């Protein structure tokens, strides 16, 4: 057992890669695409925000 630390490091490296892969897979499964209705609501909200900023006199160029 002269190489015990090396074996432990190798084991931890493999386990770390597995945990990282599981975390990435979990994140990808949790992230879903927006529905057509959600996209429309988001676009309307963005347009309204841009229009509101355009009406603000502080945002007008000199």
pLDDT of residue 1: 46
Residues 45/39, Cβ–Cβ less than 8 Å: no
Chain-centre distance for alpha carbon 49: 23
Residue 40 lies in domain:
4-59
- Per the structure, the count of domains in the chain is 1
pLDDT at position 14 is 96
Phi and psi for 50 in degrees, rounded to 5? -65, -40
Q: Specify the pTM.
A: 0.49
What confidence tens digit (pLDDT) does each residue in 14-59 have? Answer: 999 999 999 999 999 888 888 999 999 999 999 999 999 888 888 7
């Amino acid at each position: 057992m002269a190489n015990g630390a090396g074996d432990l490091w190798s084991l931890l490296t493999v386990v770390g890669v597995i945990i990282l892969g599981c975390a990435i897979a979990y994140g990808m499964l949790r992230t879903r695409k927006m529905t057509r209705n959600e996209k429309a609501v988001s676009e309307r909200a963005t347009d309204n925000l841009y229009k509101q900023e355009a009406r603000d006199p502080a945002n007008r160029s000199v």
